[in-house]
Amino acid sequence: MALHKFTRKELDTILSNAVGKTLGESDVNNVFAKTINSPKITGIAGNVVEQSILGYPPDSDKKPDLLVDGIETELKTTGIRRPKKNNRTKKTANIIYEAKEPMSITAVTPEEITDEEFETSSFWHKLEHLLLVYYHYDSPEIVPAAEYAKFFIEGYHFHEFSDEDKEILKNDWLIVRDFIQHLKDTYEDPTAEYHRISSELRKSLMFIDTAPKWPNRPRFRLKRATVSTLVQKHFGVKLEKLDDIYSTFKELDDELHNLTQKYKNKTVGELMKEFDILPTKSGSAPKSIAEQIIVKMFGGTVKKLSKIELFSKIGIVPKSIVQTTEGLRTEDVKFCQIDFEEWTDKNIQFDKSFVYNYFHEKQFLFIVFEEPSLKAPLLDNKFLGFKRLSIDDAIIEKEIKPVWEQVRYLINNNELKETIDLDKNNKPIINKRSNTVKKTTNFPKSTDNKFFIRGTGGDASRKPLVINGISMYYQQLWLRGDEVVSMLKNIDFI
């Protein structure tokens, strides 16, 4: 099919007029009519942009959609959301958006990819020049296709990756291509091994992943974190750029190794002095000291790793762990906050859920400290090094999915209960700070699960979340400390 020709000026005029309207208001060619008989049809937002806003017929060609001033350009219509946590707790100059999901690019075709070079590959052909159109997926739950009509078009922009980003995309693509070539060279029937493409490579890929798993034909996707960073930069979020460039996880690991060699065995107090990190008024280390130390080691000036563009794009989540001199457990590790509306959506499957994507896509950079004794202050803990953890698919399926299912069952079947905590004399335990009775729910506990649910808050008299009539703190998914230590024991220091 021929490319659809536009000038940049024409597209700016058309799309500027569409911003601020709903998809339904923009649907002059009645594309939504097909949702009457097909309520679960996919890609309806993109169809409206193509067929009603830009006015060209459906097109499933492998080539980019548009010819803009003579340049082949791929159109991507992308859903964006407002993260509840950021928009609830902070007043910022810009509304914070994130991508609803990863961005599908093109098929992974084992039969063809090993004969391709990056510059002329179908993968890069799709990514080299992008036109991104954003609509606000303003619902915590999955909605039928017809309800997309109420979603507003929030913005658009033409995007070309920087030379640094292009190098990362190239290296990611080469990792996939070379792995498939390795399977072809090694096995008489390489197709029997293609299921390994998605699971074995994801810990090595910075900007992309592949899904679904073979025998379903996988597609290259930009990670949700990568797309979220593009979205946030477009809507005015400022991110810090590092002076040094890291194009692969190997290059990043080499730098982490060098930093370990330089700072190993220094205490938290010594590192705070080294990097001019101020203590709290009481003279102790700030709450986010581990993350601040990592940022400073890389030459950053911001307080959060997610405010550095590279780490934002690759979805690295910093975590700290303090172990005893014997290498034993000290404390549990907190992961993502739970959006109960999304978790309990009856229409969502686990592999499409936020929690699945979080653990499937994110990598966790642990900065490891050692406490000299049980009562030693945080300032005396020694820096030992870094370990990078990617949660295995088997753990996601066997340990996290059952917790997700149990939470859904308890809430959706009205089985969530709250009980009063009793002391050894069978009397209610009183919270000293708030003088309230201590209570607990029957969410999955650490006594029965490696991953479990726990709330965080400082005042038991103020519980902002109400689930099934039960007031509680905001809840997070945690992993028991002994399990973290066990996982990290099998990973060498970087």
CB 462 within 8 A of CB 412: no
Q: Which conformational region is residue 419 in: left (phi greater than 0), alpha (psi within -120 to 50 degrees), or beta? A: beta
pLDDT at 87: 44
For residues 192-215, one letter each, b for 16 or more C-beta atoms within 10 angstroms of the residue's C-beta and e for the rest, the string is: ebbeebbeebbebbbbbbbbeebe
Q: DSSP labels for 344-370?
A: T-TT--GGGSHHHHHHHH-EEEEEEEE
Q: Where are the domains of the chain?
A: 4-234
pLDDT at 425: 79
Pick the CATH number of 4-234 from 3.30.565.10, 3.40.600.10, 3.40.140.10, 3.40.50.720: 3.40.600.10
Angle between the N-to-C axes of helices 354-361 and 224-234, in degrees from 0 to 180, rounded to the nearest 10: 100
The contacts of residue 446 (CB under 8 Å, 6+ apart) are: 332, 452, 454, 478, 480
Pairing mode, strands 103-107 and 316-323: unpaired
Q: DSSP labels for 222-269?
A: E-HHHHHHHHHHHTT---BPPSS---SHHHHHHHHHHHHHHHTT-BHH
CB 289 within 8 A of CB 274: no
pLDDT tens digit sequence for 134-169:
999 999 889 999 999 999 999 999 999 999 999 999
Of 333, 388, 393, give the one whose Cα is nearest residue 357.
393
CB 207 within 8 A of CB 124: no
Low-confidence residues of the chain: pLDDT under 50: 86-92
pLDDT at 93: 52
Our CA dihedral for 466, 471, 476, 481, rounded to 10 degrees, sits at: -160
pLDDT at 282: 84
pTM for this structure? 0.91
Q: Which conformational region is residue 376 in: left (phi greater than 0), alpha (psi within -120 to 50 degrees), or beta? A: beta
| 328's tokens | 């034993």
pLDDT tens digit sequence for 421-473:
777 877 877 877 667 778 889 999 999 999 999 998 766 667 889 999 998 98
Phi, psi of 491 (to 5 degrees): -115, 130
Our CA dihedral for 113, 119, 125, 128, rounded to 10 degrees, sits at: 140
Q: How many CA atoms lie within 13 A of 228 on its CB side?
A: 25
Distance from C-alpha of 164 to C-alpha of 206, rounded to nearest angstrom: 12
